[in-house]
C-alpha cells in the first residue's frame, strides 16, 4: 500500500519536472510489428538523461543505448511504448513503480522479413538500436579480400505477436541488410545478434 502511494507521488513529481525541463514529444503504443508508429497515442512532455537522478551533467556515450525519461504521463507509460522528442526516437524497456522508465535510444528504422529467400514481412518501419559488437576480420578462407562479417546487436521493442528466429533478414532505412544469428526475448524487449550481409 505504501509503495503505491509513494509511486503516485513520484509520478506527480516527475510530471512537474517534465513540464519544466521537457520538450513536447510523441508517444506511440505498438499493436504489432507492422508500422508500430502508424497511430499517435499521446503527446507528452519528455526529458531524457543518462543519469536516473536527472543531473543533466553528461551526454549519452557511444555504444551505450539507454537513457531515463521524465514524462508528464508516467502513469500511462508502458514497456514497448515508442517515444519521440528533440529529434531522437526511443522505446521504453522497463517501467518500475519507484524508478523513472528506462528507454533504449534508437539509431535506425528497420524491417524484418522471413528467412532468406522468403518475402513475408514480420516487422516494418520499426525503430531499433543497432550497436556494432565485433569488427570483421580475416576469415582465413584464402580468397583475396575475404573478411568475416561484422557482428552487431539489435534492440527492438517488445512487439505484440512478433516472434523472430535465426536466419531472418533485417533491412535498415539505409538499405543495409543483416542476417539474424540469435534471438533473446525478455521483459525489456527483443535482442538479436546479427551478421552483416556482404552479398
Q: Do 13 and 85 belong to one domain?
A: yes
> Which among 61, 89, 106 is the end of a domain?
106
Q: Do 101 and 164 belong to one domain?
A: no
Pairing between β-strand 45-49 and β-strand 102-106 as defined by DSSP bridges: unpaired
Task: Summarize pLDDT for 72-127 with one digit per residue, the tens.
Answer: 999 999 999 999 999 999 999 999 988 899 999 999 999 999 876 666 899 999 99
Q: Do 65 and 127 belong to one domain?
A: no
What pTM does this model have?
0.88
What is the structure's pLDDT at 144? 60
- CB within 8 Å of 77: residues ≥ 6 apart: 27, 69, 71, 92, 95, 101
Could you list the residue range(s) of the whole structural domain that residue 164 is in? Answer: 108-196
Q: Do 75 and 114 belong to one domain?
A: no
Comparing 149 with 85, which gets the higher pLDDT?
85
Count of domains forming the chain? 2
Q: Do 85 and 142 belong to one domain?
A: no
Measured between alpha carbons, how far is 69 from 29 in angstroms, rounded to an integer? 16
Task: Summarize pLDDT for 7-54 with one digit per residue, the tens.
Answer: 788 778 878 888 888 899 999 999 999 999 999 999 999 999 998 888
Amino acid at each position: 500500500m505504501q509503495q503505491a502511494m509513494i509511486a503516485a507521488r513520484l509520478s506527480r513529481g516527475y510530471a512537474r519536472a517534465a513540464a519544466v525541463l521537457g520538450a513536447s514529444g510523441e508517444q506511440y503504443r505498438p499493436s504489432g510489428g507492422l508500422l508500430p508508429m502508424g497511430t499517435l497515442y499521446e503527446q507528452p512532455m519528455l526529458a531524457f538523461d543518462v543519469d536516473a537522478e536527472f543531473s543533466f551533467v553528461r551526454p549519452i556515450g557511444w555504444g551505450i543505448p539507454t537513457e531515463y525519461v521524465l514524462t508528464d504521463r508516467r502513469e500511462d507509460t508502458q514497456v514497448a511504448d515508442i517515444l519521440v522528442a528533440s529529434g531522437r526516437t526511443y522505446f521504453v524497456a522497463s517501467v518500475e513503480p519507484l524508478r523513472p522508465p528506462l528507454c533504449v535510444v534508437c539509431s535506425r528504422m528497420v524491417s524484418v522479413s522471413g528467412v532468406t529467400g522468403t518475402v513475408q514481412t514480420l516487422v516494418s518501419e520499426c525503430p531499433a538500436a543497432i550497436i556494432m559488437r565485433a569488427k570483421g576480420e580475416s576469415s582465413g578462407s584464402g580468397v583475396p579480400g575475404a573478411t568475416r562479417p561484422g557482428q552487431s546487436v539489435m534492440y527492438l521493442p517488445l512487439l505484440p505477436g512478433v516472434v523472430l528466429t535465426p536466419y531472418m533478414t533485417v533491412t535498415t532505412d539505409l538499405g543495409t541488410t543483416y542476417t539474424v544469428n540469435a534471438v533473446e526475448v525478455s521483459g525489456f524487449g527483443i535482442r538479436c545478434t546479427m551478421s552483416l550481409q556482404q552479398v
